[in-house]
A and B are shown apart, each in its own frame.
Chain A
Amino acid sequence: MLFAPVLLASVSLAQTAPVSQEAHAPLLAHQDLQQSMKQLATAHAELVSVVAVGRSRAGRAIEGLRLMAGERSSGRPAILVVADVDGPYVWTSTLALEEARTLAEGYARDERVKKLLDTTTLYFVPRADPDAAEGRFAAPLFEQWASGAGVDNDRDGRVGEDPPSDVNGDGVITTIRVPSPEGEWIEDPTDPRALVKADPKKGQRGKWKLWTEGRDLDRDERVAEDSELDAVVNLNFPQGWRELDPRAGRFATDEPPAHALCDFVLLHKDIALVLTYGAQDNLVEKPKTIGDGGQRTRRLPPDGTIDADGELYAEIGKRYKKLTGSKAKGENDARGSFQAWCEQQRGLWCLNIAGWTMPLDEPAPKKEGEAEKPKPEGDQPEPSDDAKRLRWIDAHNEAARFVAWKPFQHPELGAVEIGGFAPYAKIEPPESERVELEKKQYEFLLTLGELLPRVVIPECSAKALSGGLWEIKAAVENHAFLPLLSAAARRAESVRPARVTLRLPKDAQLLAGSGESLLEDLTGTNGRHEYRWLVHGAPPKALGVEVETDHAGNAQATPEVK
């Protein structure tokens, strides 16, 4: 029983069910995660090391794993995988850890893994927000999103005096519904367990008022309205930061995990691509785009993906869906998120994966003895998303995901009903599906190394003109799918362009061309830029063409005499 609180007292959930051969690692509490990471690094010391990222507000260590084969060479591109970027996505920490483990174990056996780790560094940060994640292992169980600075939500001069709580003692904090003249909700006609907002334009009059389960301890006629913590780590990043919204924190990067993640990204200039597991997904659905990135209104550009980058995300998305079959559409409001900052301000490629959402396409149940009914005429109400979720829950025997509405005598509100979706119910895939999910995500991860831009010098020649004068020509190319710089990186000037240098001995003379120039425009797949110099007073073998980057490798060549 995934959501039963009693059984959560034990750390390992896998112990509650018969363990099959295919049983994966369970959800990991903080100490178990740390332990597992340490063990992995120890078991594969030549490939894996633990790297420090920072500390959470409550002092929990935020750590990562670096996977790299061979010596640290400068300019080798890197991929950063950040899981559990939204607190409740605890299951994705296990996913990321298992990916790291499979890579480490596969290096010796799998050609694809060897190729990836020989040419690309991988950083895994399995848990961006350890404080919020630890809520998954608390009793009573509450879907904990916030881990940061608290405010006086109800403006009564006190902070955190009226938090959510388990009023009816069932071990989970769900929802209270109260009949109220101010109620805005009515039961979904297709499934009374689900609630929808009443639409007065359709003549619907609201019946229920909803509260997060809790008390009205401060007697202000609001329930569970003032928790101790308000700020959400993944709303605390600078791009689209929602100023003065309590959930967004006191200022962008005030929350220690956000600050730490930003510093990690800035420090590791080899990172070319970020892969996140959390609420957002920009692969299953093509992200909406904002134009060419040049538009400004009162000096401010719109939030979002630039068209040219959007095309590339769409293509990667196609490949992702083909490989994984995922239909999980994520949340698309990225304001204040790590992903928005990485993509729009740091100019990194940012692939965001939700991995699983509760399917909304479960067909309506057939009643016993019913033949195919002809569709009755007139308006049939369309089931709400929650009603569709309930269909899936019913069809898949996942009853624990929805707590049936039960009457309860609330100390302050009187007669109420308590129930609703259980914490984490809409977020965690069924245990039975997780192994397959992890496999597919791993397969997708394996394909990412080849996408990253890498500079090469396929041609470098020298032609003798008379009198000791040489014409040096070189081409710099990128054959990978992704261009050297995304459109966002070029707009933000946040990723360093390639530096192309002609090395020549001291007494040689450069008569034409630039000894050093910066190259920004190197497209994906067929990117090419040509250079031409005239040099006097040195033979070609004393010269060198060098291309140097932070994130797309390096290349050198000596001109070949033609």
Chain B
Amino acid sequence: MYAMLFFALAQTPAQPQAQSPLPPAAPTVSGFPGNPTGFRPKLEIPFNRFYDYPELLAWMDKLEATFPKLMRHEVIGHSVEGREMRVYTLTNAEKGADREKPAMWIDGNVHGNEVQGGEAVLYTAWYLLENYATLPEAAALVDDCTFYLLPSQNPDGRAHWFEEAHTAHSSRTGVQPHDDDRDGRFDEDPADDLDGDGQITQMRKYVPGQGNFRLDPDDPRLMIYVPQNDKGIKGDWILLGEEGIDNDGDGQINEDEKGGYDMNRAWPGMWQPDFIQYGAGPYPLYWPETRSIAGFLLDHGNVAALQSFHNNGGMILRGPGAEAFGEYDGQDLAAFDELGRDGEKMLPFYRYMVIWKDLYSVFGGFTTWAYEDLGIISFTNEMWNTDQYYPDRSKAPDEGGRGGGDKARHFFDDNLLLGAGFVNWHPYKHPFYGDIEIGGWRKDVGRVPPSFLVEEMLHRNALFCLKHAKAMPKVSIEEVKVTDIGDGVKAVDAIFKNQHVIPTRTGRAASMKIGEPDAFTIAGKDVEVLAGGFRSDRWRPEKIDLAEREPARLLRETGIGPRGEVRVRWLVRGKGTKVTLAWQGEKARDVSLDVELK
């Protein structure tokens, strides 16, 4: 009310009066560092919803256009239905080419229904780019690292999930026709959207005295299971499964959906065929989406960190995927464990887990291949945990009985979403079952958060990615010392340090000879390198693993360990007064240092 009064007064036409000079309005700083006042993003993207594939790419392209010096994209292949597989390369090229820097690969949505990974990739790019100009930490990441961003591994699956009727779990597969029931026909009996509401829900039928479910007297949406008993008590309802009819007349309903495979079982690491690992296809990288991605990764040896987003369950997963693999290298576990535990702090309701041990054995997974065959520290985050409906469990509605879990869900949906998530049971005349009812949760309930919790999920997971990226190796040459041995021979000692927890070469890469060893070099005009090697003792320089040949170029299969250091000594002689020490490796920026020989 007072504001109105003030405003009214200000409006009153008055004689001109002397006005005190107000300072100009503080300029709004561009960018969006998560602080909610005084900032305006250059590009406003609503992060409370999900985007179908063309929209997702359109946002990425808009970002690229808004920050043209910092992101560009290339097409690395096409999906089964011809959609572009795009990798967006995010780095400041003025500070070095993408391949010269350690790179993090981020993707999502290999399962077509696990859509939020796409938005997580978008959010990560947006957050880095928006804050490049104003947050030094964002600038450092964009200047010193490369991000290879693939919004969706399975654009066909994603598109179909959005555009067609599905459940929360369907459209996981790609869409190449697949004979799921081995009857010689392909994709002939998918679920059917009988009531045309754009959702695939459940069918139930009223069969008084002959069913195994009864309705909750307080809420007829809820079905309570009636277990077998000696009292002759029966339910009045049966559940008939997902909406559908027997399209091919073979006596089964919904047994051959579109596609019917799992592209996250197609990767070459411990790959096994279908009968051992469901969904794997006839050989590794069978589907074009997977082969293009593998080709890119094999061609970019600078990838040192990797995240592939899935839903759901609230997990930060690492391999081994299969028990038969054994244990991961102890040195590498230092990086995995540190990032995993920090991740748990950044992502409430998420647990850091080992796939085969804490879930189940899986063969041919993407992140396990990336570590086991490419030597990259890799995680899969399963985004969103339904516990997040009630962060304070003590306040969740009564969980008693089998309907209890559903009770809590309905309370949430009814009160916080005005019932938007649930398709209430309604009658339908089924060609085979007769009078039935159709109803259930929408496809965007359960595996993806409600809209008002989407941005939090994206932000936390994106910042976990940035923490992972910050852990990529960074090498420096320090504590260089030149010692005069006599007769013109000089000893050059240097410590090569890796400042971060991801080693320059993982233990896995070293033991399986993946990629190339790190090179530690010395060179100088008119300087002869007589000997050199890696020192094993800080105090006794004579304890040295002398190179048998080519001392000016020392190769080290194990690289520089997590926050580790490698001490090197060279013995040189010559008229020259200067040498250049250098380190070259695949997964960190090359460094060099000029040293005066005095």
Residues of A within 8 A of B (CB): 151-152, 155-157, 219-221, 237-239, 241, 243-244, 250-253, 262, 266, 297-301, 341, 345-346, 491-494, 496-497, 499, 514-516, 518, 548, 550
Contact = CB atoms under 8 A, between A and B. Distances in A.
Interface residues on B, range: 35 or more
Given A151-B513, A238-B271, A299-B323, 5 more contacts: A221-B548, A299-B363, A301-B276, A492-B274, A496-B183
List the 9 closest A-B pairs by CB distance, nearest first. A251-B268, A298-B324, A492-B275, A345-B273, A244-B512, A298-B323, A238-B283, A253-B283, A516-B250
B482 interface: no
B284 A492 contact: no
A51 to B, nearest CB: 20
A548 B249 contact: no
Interface of B: 179, 182-184, 249-251, 268-276, 282-285, 294, 298, 322-324, 361, 363, 372-373, 512-514, 516-517, 519, 548-550, 553, 555, 557
Contacts of B512: 244
A493 B183 CA distance: 12
A299 B179 CA distance: 24
Contact of B516 (A157, A298, A299, A493): A157
A250 B372 CA distance: 12
B555 A157 contact: yes
A550 B275 CA distance: 20
A346 B273 CA distance: 9
B27 to A, nearest CB: 52
Given A220-B549, A244-B373, A299-B322, A548 B272 contact: no
B277 to A, nearest CB: 8
A497 B276 CA distance: 19
A514 B251 contact: yes
Nearest to B251: A514
Contacts of A244: 373, 512-514
A266 B286 CA distance: 11
Nearest to A151: B513
A300 B294 contact: no
A514 to B, nearest CB: 7
Given A251-B285, A299-B361, A499 B183 contact: yes
A492 B273 contact: yes
Nearest to A498: B184
Contacts of A514: 251
Query: Which interface residue of A266, A299, A493 has the most chain B CB atoms within 10 A?
Result: A299
Contacts of B270: 243
B284 A496 contact: no
Contacts of A297: 324
Nearest to A153: B513
A491 B549 contact: no
B294 to A, nearest CB: 7
A515 B249 contact: yes
A496 B179 contact: yes
10 contacts: A151-B513, A155-B513, A157-B516, A157-B519, A219-B550, A251-B284, A299-B323, A492-B275, A496-B183, A516-B251
B236 to A, nearest CB: 30
A250 to B, nearest CB: 6
Contacts of A262: 282-283
A496 B517 contact: no
Query: Which interface residue of A251, A252, A514, A548 has the most chain B CB atoms within 10 A?
Result: A251
A297 B251 CA distance: 36
A253 B285 contact: yes
A255 B474 CA distance: 35
B294 A251 contact: yes
B268 A252 contact: yes
Nearest to B182: A496
A516 B282 contact: no
B273 A238 contact: yes
Contacts of B323: 298-299
B272 A300 contact: yes
Contacts of A518: 182-183
B74 to A, nearest CB: 21
B284 A252 contact: yes
A11 to B, nearest CB: 36
A250 B517 contact: no
A548 B285 CA distance: 31
A523 B251 CA distance: 26
A221 B549 CA distance: 9
B555 A243 contact: no
Contacts of B373: 243-244, 251
